[in-house]
A and B are shown apart, each in its own frame.
Chain A
Amino acid sequence: MRGKGVESVDGEEGLAQRLRRYFAGIDAATDLAASRTALLHDIATPGRIATRPRRPLRWVVGGVALALVAAGVPVLAGTPLGQTIAELVRAGAIDPGMAAAKSGRDWHTLNLQVSNEGYALRCSGYYFDGYETVLLCRLALPASVQALADSSTFPILPTLTLTDAAGSSVMDGTTDGGAAGATTLYEFRGVLQPGPVRLTVGANLAIFPAAPQRAVVLHPHLPSAEFTLERTAPGRVVTVDHAGAVSVQGIRASVVDFVSAPDTTHVDITLQAEEPALRLVDAFNLADPGGPLHDVNPARGSIIVRPTGSVFSALFDLRGGLLADGGSGGGPVGGAYRFSGNFGAAPGVRSFQVEVPAMYVAREVVLPLAGAAASISAGGGPSGPGRITASPVSGSAGTALRVTAQGTRLVGPFALVGPKGTVYPCTLVTTDDNLEGLRGSHGRPFSTMSLAWGGTATLSFAGWPSERSLVGAKLQVWADALVTGPWVIPVRLPR
């Protein structure tokens, strides 16, 4: 049937059929049972945003890009095609030097090779991408370690240290972490000064075989090598005196301060949970203020600040490479976490992405007690859903609750609410194991206590008359939920 006034319907119908055929041919097969379980698990877990493991973006080889590079056609780095070439370089399909040269970069070839104990590292060269110096190295792992890496859920995190002639560190070499399992090409980014540079390889290589808490840190002890870094392009002056804010996934990121000068770029960002019942826990490693932020630890979470915007279009990609040595700038600020970093020379920086690879949030969990052991599922971590169990215990010291956290972690403050709404202060009487944080001591309020994954603790409640009176009481705790990312929070700075 052809409608009145229809033109070229045969051709259009052909296209429609082609579209439908394409659609029907899409392989939508997925592990339905597993994805359904993950979905229901997320649904059943209050506070959980998304726990299904995110797989890293896969990419495919662009035949056009390959052909252009092979034919020697120059491609601007900032263009989409340039980005594709960057992906190809990362895959090892294109020689980095050739790609850099074709992209108009000032590519410096190194051909540096070091190896030991089955580890082999080859650095092909470096270039200045308009913001920082990028050193491209390919790391090969011993078969046994590679097998471990292949089975890992989390990225491999090798680091590399560069020192100047005087022995001072000039670059906190790090990588994008690569994909889970095997990764062939690592980019080491940082602000390098011209002159002699000593390359120390294999300072730290962390592999997370299954769960973050079982990280294996390897020290390959590869030999060092030296090369001379040639001068790279200077930066430009940009100053921004006020900031913007943005919210993603209930986390509000605000730029407190931002200053850019020829030789330094400083950004000061706070992250704060927007919901009262949502708390950030260990947004990054507070135990190591000022430490290298690239110490990405999925167990504790960390924050990566990266530049975005066309001014940085020369970057190979924004998944990899941290900005120099931005360190965490201290602890909570007004209930928020504050990050402060110095990123060296950054010409024209206008926006950042705050990327949170993993983070804990906590929500209130109400545990109904019935005088006997009560158990609910709450929170959860990389090993699956969590469970909190509470059992009343009577002893000479009075009535207490023995609280066990399996597969999750509890943090204070705690409160016990009686059947009539009376709030009883909770104190920690004994600690069995796995207490971390400030480690509550005898008689110390629970607000200072946090119970680690799989830990147990005994809580007591002042003024609690008897075990019998526990019937109908509620224990309010905060159960961690591991939020897997990465989330990318764009922070745009006003012009």
Chain B
Amino acid sequence: MQNALRVVGTTATFGKAAPASGPPSAACGAPPSTGGTDALPRPGDPDTKLIRAAATGDTAAFGELYARNAERAMRVSLFLLGSRPEAEDAVHDAFLRAWRGLRSFRPGAPFYPWFHRILRHEVGNRLERRARRRVLSTSAAGPPAELARDAELRLALDGLDLPKREAVLLHYVLGYSVTEVARMCGVPPGTVKSRLRLARGALARALGDGGQGRERE
């Protein structure tokens, strides 16, 4: 059922995808659960052990946790920010905050949803800072390689505000359910559905395909 199309409420959703890339981290990349259930950690989840050790002050364990999740976090950060230097800073600071906040981590919970909220905060800070500086998102975007691959889509994504961009990422790309996204974003599921609907419309308009989202290679 991983790639099956589902209906959440009245909103049609895309097929859930396995994590698109990144290390096979059970926490960060934990296979999203099906329709609206919690993403539960697997027994013996390596991240769970690492988190437990890190919470006692084991920096080596936290370093290992970082190694397992950094690439994925970087990819998420780049997706949301579009700027490599900012993305790298956001990931670094998010892990730093995660370390300081490990005591608030609920034992047994999956790592990534918890970490994502921290990362999202760092990303949001940088977007706000960027807005204050009145730098166009495209001008602050990452190196040309980031844009050259699918510049049209990148620009369309830059046209979304962070909540919509994040909803698109978590649901359509990372495959989290609406309920899970809602939990990670701290908003009701209805809000997530609304964001997804609006994001789809905005992307469709930006891509000029009337909502078909045809791939343009």
CB pair B59–A14 under 8 Å, yes or no, is no
Q: Which residues of B contact A14 (CB under 8 A)?
A: 212-215
B176 within 8 A of A: no
A52–B90 CA distance with the chains assembled, in angstroms? 11
Identify which of residues 17-67 in chain B touch chain A, using a CB-to-CB cut-off of 8 Å.
17, 20-22, 59, 62-63, 66-67
Q: Which residues of A contact B147 (CB under 8 A)?
A: 60
A44–B54 CA distance with the chains assembled, in angstroms? 13
List 9 A-B residue pairs with CB atoms under 8 Å apart, sorted by A's residue number.
A11-B211, A14-B215, A18-B153, A19-B172, A21-B150, A23-B173, A50-B92, A52-B92, A318-B132
CB pair B66–A80 under 8 Å, yes or no, is no
CB pair B59–A44 under 8 Å, yes or no, is yes
CB pair A83–B75 under 8 Å, yes or no, is no
Q: Which residues of B contact A26 (CB under 8 A)?
A: 21, 75, 78-79, 146
A317 within 8 A of B: yes
- Told that A10-B212, A15-B207, A18-B213 touch, could you supply 11 new A-B pairs with CB distance under 8 A? A1-B1, A2-B5, A8-B212, A9-B5, A23-B173, A24-B21, A40-B59, A44-B59, A50-B89, A55-B88, A87-B135
Tell which of A29-37, A185-193, A257-265 binds the partner.
A29-37
CB pair A60–B133 under 8 Å, yes or no, is no
A56–B13 CA distance with the chains assembled, in angstroms? 39
* A11 and B67 in contact, given A5-B10, A83-B136 (Cβ under 8 angstroms): no
A4–B139 CA distance with the chains assembled, in angstroms? 43
A129 within 8 A of B: no
A232–B85 CA distance with the chains assembled, in angstroms? 37
* A81 and B85 in contact, given A4-B7, A6-B5, A32-B67 (Cβ under 8 angstroms): no
B interface residues, how many (CB within 8 angstroms): 74
A52-80, CB under 8 A of B: which get 1 and which 0?
10111111111000000000000000101
* A22 and B75 in contact, given A1-B5, A308-B132 (Cβ under 8 angstroms): no
CB pair A30–B211 under 8 Å, yes or no, is no
Q: Which residues of A contact B15 (CB under 8 A)?
A: 13, 16
Identify which of residues 180-209 in chain B touch chain A, using a CB-to-CB cut-off of 8 Å.
200, 203-204, 207, 209
A2–B78 CA distance with the chains assembled, in angstroms? 32
* A317 and B135 in contact, given A3-B7, A22-B150 (Cβ under 8 angstroms): yes
A interface residues, how many (CB within 8 angstroms): 65
| A50 CB contact (under 8 Å) in B62, B93, B132, B141 | B93
Q: Which residues of B contact A252 (CB under 8 A)?
A: none
| B88 CB contact (under 8 Å) in A11, A35, A313 | A35
CB pair B10–A60 under 8 Å, yes or no, is no
Chain B, Cβ-Cβ closest to A56: B85
User: Lowest 6 A-B CB distances belong to which pairs?
Assistant: A15-B213, A16-B14, A11-B212, A3-B7, A1-B4, A80-B136
Chain A, Cβ-Cβ closest to B57: A43
Identify which of residues 82-103 in chain B touch chain A, using a CB-to-CB cut-off of 8 Å.
83-86, 88-89, 91-93, 95-96, 99
CB pair B70–A30 under 8 Å, yes or no, is yes
Q: Which residues of A contact B75 (CB under 8 A)?
A: 23, 26, 28
Chain A, Cβ-Cβ closest to B204: A15
CB pair A7–B21 under 8 Å, yes or no, is no
Chain A, Cβ-Cβ closest to B9: A5
CB pair B12–A43 under 8 Å, yes or no, is no
A117 within 8 A of B: no
- With both chains docked as a complex, state the minimum distance between the C-beta of B126 and any C-beta of chain A, in angstroms: 10
- With both chains docked as a complex, state the minimum distance between the C-beta of B92 and any C-beta of chain A, in angstroms: 5
- With both chains docked as a complex, state the minimum distance between the C-beta of A444 and any C-beta of chain B, in angstroms: 38
A228 within 8 A of B: no
CB pair B96–A43 under 8 Å, yes or no, is yes
* A16 and B96 in contact, given A60-B142, A62-B138 (Cβ under 8 angstroms): no
CB pair B133–A317 under 8 Å, yes or no, is yes
- With both chains docked as a complex, state the minimum distance between the C-beta of A413 and any C-beta of chain B, in angstroms: 27
A42 within 8 A of B: yes
B178 within 8 A of A: no
Chain A, Cβ-Cβ closest to B213: A15
Chain A, Cβ-Cβ closest to B151: A63
Q: Which residues of A contact B123 (CB under 8 A)?
A: none
Identify which of residues 305-355 in chain A touch chain B, using a CB-to-CB cut-off of 8 Å.
308, 310, 313, 317-319, 353
A39 within 8 A of B: yes
A184 within 8 A of B: no
A23–B80 CA distance with the chains assembled, in angstroms? 10
CB pair A54–B12 under 8 Å, yes or no, is no
Q: Which residues of A contact B63 (CB under 8 A)?
A: 36, 39-40
- With both chains docked as a complex, state the minimum distance between the C-beta of A62 and any C-beta of chain B, in angstroms: 5
A183–B17 CA distance with the chains assembled, in angstroms? 44
Identify which of residues 206-222 in chain A touch chain B, using a CB-to-CB cut-off of 8 Å.
none
B121 within 8 A of A: no
Q: Which residues of A contact B1 (CB under 8 A)?
A: 1
A60–B62 CA distance with the chains assembled, in angstroms? 35
A25 within 8 A of B: yes
A394 within 8 A of B: no
A237 within 8 A of B: no
B161 within 8 A of A: no
CB pair B146–A318 under 8 Å, yes or no, is no
- With both chains docked as a complex, state the minimum distance between the C-beta of A463 and any C-beta of chain B, in angstroms: 36
- With both chains docked as a complex, state the minimum distance between the C-beta of B122 and any C-beta of chain A, in angstroms: 11
A441 within 8 A of B: no
CB pair A318–B96 under 8 Å, yes or no, is no
B6 within 8 A of A: yes
* A353 and B99 in contact, given A5-B12, A16-B15, A60-B138 (Cβ under 8 angstroms): no
Identify which of residues 107-151 in chain B touch chain A, using a CB-to-CB cut-off of 8 Å.
129, 132-147, 149-150
A44–B89 CA distance with the chains assembled, in angstroms? 18
Q: Which residues of B contact A52 (CB under 8 A)?
A: 89, 92
| A20 CB contact (under 8 Å) in B20, B207, B209 | B20
Q: Which residues of A contact B86 (CB under 8 A)?
A: 57
CB pair B138–A84 under 8 Å, yes or no, is yes
A466 within 8 A of B: no
Chain B, Cβ-Cβ closest to A29: B71
- With both chains docked as a complex, state the minimum distance between the C-beta of B132 and any C-beta of chain A, in angstroms: 6
